[in-house]
Amino acid sequence: ATVTTAGCLAAALLGYGVGMVLYQSLGTWFIDTMGMQSAYQAYQGFFDQYGFIAILTLGILPIPFQVAMITAGLSGYPIALFVLAALIARGIRYYGLAWLVLRFGPRVERMWRRHALVTSLAAGLIVLGVALGIQWLAGQVL
């Protein structure tokens, strides 16, 4: 689980870098040429507000994590927050599976592979619900 999580984190940083380079080379030109500055700023505000939750959710769901990597780099999302969200999401996924296999044996791994979509969606929805609940509570307190 540790090696898999570390490898995924290294790949996530590479994907973040790709997004960042694309933004700096092609992204700014495209946004300026198409007159999309206000739309991009609105998107940036959305990603700044919900980016951590989005990265967590994408990191657990069976959606290609490259979407989160490149989007975070493109939007200039803070790299420290990106790394933290990726580490939590992928850690939950890989350590959770490792714990289940250790606790219940290899048959759990076979079940996980057979039902990966349903299991991942359920875990992702739980994380999303908890994260949105925390954000809502924080908004109510402040």
pLDDT digits (tens, 9 = 90+) for 69-102: 877 888 888 999 999 999 999 898 889 888 888 8
Name the residue with higher pLDDT: 10 or 115.
Answer: 10
Q: Where are the domains of the chain?
A: 2-141
Q: Percentage of the chain with pLDDT > 70?
A: 78
Q: Percentage of the chain with pLDDT > 90?
A: 15
Rounded to 10°, the helix 66-75/79-104 angle is 160
Integer Rg of the chain from CA: 17
The single residue listed with the structure tokens 């959770």 is 96
What is the pLDDT at residue 67? 74
Q: Calculate the average pLDDT of the chain.
A: 79
User: Which distant-in-sequence residues (6+ apart) come within 8 Å of 3 by Cβ?
Assistant: none
